[in-house]
Homo-oligomer: A and B are copies of this chain.
Amino acid sequence: MSRTLQEVADAITATVIGDSAVRISGIASIGRAANGDIVFVEDARYFADAVASQASAILAGNFAKDLPADKPVLIVPHPKLAFARTARLLIADAKSTSRQGQIHPSAVVAASAQLGPGANVGEHVVVGENAALGANSRVGAGCVIGAGVRIGEECRFHPRVTVYSGTTIGDRVIVHAGAVLGSDGFGYVRDGATSSYEKFPQIGQLIVEDDVEIGANTTIDRGALEVTRIGRGSKLDNLVHIGHNCQIGRNVVIAAQTGLSGSIVIEDNVVLGGQVGIGEHARVGEGVMLGGQGGVLPHKVLRGKGEVFWGTPAQPLRDYLKQLGRLARLGKK
């Protein structure tokens, strides 16, 4: 299936220069583009490469308005964003033509489970009692959806995801293979008499809001007695760990292998680099960026919209860089 360039331009609000009837069926990098593909250019220096490519059309910024091109160009304020939206448009087309509303015969779906129209349940999936899967949501092969789990509309679960019972998931949530959602938190009470650990009950809930994406083999624990929450639009990379009772705000980005222990608050628009570690009850304020491998001690609060923190214990980047410089000079004395 394909779209005319004019249809693409209308969908993403772009100005067409050249033949708007050209048909677009895919996206690609300049180096790998083929006939039917659209590519994007953010920098005038690479525009000639895009023109020379096999692509059928180019997404570019205002700079391209007067540059020579023997193929049509869509002028947009933010070419990379427009490219991502074009991709979404074309992928949605592809999805609408794929089989939908099917339950694979090898799946085990409880009679009390509710499946919305167009919901798709893959091979060897298990859907527990009273679970609900919203319209057009797709659950990949080998997923296990626990009892009472509620999944919204237009979700995409890749294979082998486990969702523990009672978890609630919003609309348009993407979960990658092997992720575990709503597992028990890590809480014990030590019995002084025997030195052994008694498991503290982990009977709270996990709520994942709309438009969240969760990476492969990432684990998110349910609340102990309360709720763990991943806010709307937040994106978690692979192998991330989120402990019990954490509150992750909206549009938070968490890179791979970062770990949050329990009861942490991450406010909206925070960016955490990879392999960051945050201690229990810490708080990262709105809009803070924390560099890779950074560490935040328990109960610590980081604040500053747009402020970049680095190191362990995390400090403002400029302080961290000064310290690195002094350490290096120490070596030369």
Contacts and interface: CB of A to CB of B under 8 A. Distances in A.
Contacts of A247: none
Contacts of A268: 195
B226 A32 contact: yes
Given A126-B141, A144-B141, A201 B259 contact: no
Contact of A177 (B80, B144, B203, B253): B144
Interface string A113-125: 0000000001110
Contacts of A155: none
Taking residues whose C-beta sits less than 8 angstroms from the other chain, chain A's interface range is 35 or more
A279 to B, nearest CB: 6
B238 A197 contact: no
A196 B224 CA distance: 30
Contact of A312 (B144, B221, B261, B293): B293
A201 B331 CA distance: 44
Contacts of A221: 216, 238
A88 B81 CA distance: 51
A213 interface: yes
A217 B215 contact: no
A225 interface: yes
Nearest to A325: B331
Contacts of A238: 180, 183, 186, 219, 221, 241
B178 A162 contact: yes
A85 B319 CA distance: 48
A250 to B, nearest CB: 8
A200 interface: yes
A217 B183 CA distance: 10
8 contacts: A27-B201, A81-B198, A85-B198, A178-B219, A196-B211, A217-B217, A238-B241, A256-B261
Sorted nearest first, the 6 A-B pairs with minimum C-beta distance are A87-B201, A29-B225, A162-B177, A180-B216, A144-B159, A219-B238
Interface of A: 27-29, 31-32, 78, 80-81, 83-85, 87-88, 91, 104, 106, 108, 122-124, 126, 140-142, 144, 158-160, 162, 164, 174, 176-178, 180, 183-184, 186, 188-192, 195-201, 203, 211, 213, 215-217, 219, 221, 225-226, 233, 235, 237-239, 241, 243, 251, 253, 255-257, 259, 261, 268-269, 274-275, 277, 279, 292-293, 295, 312-313, 319, 322-324, 326-327, 330-331
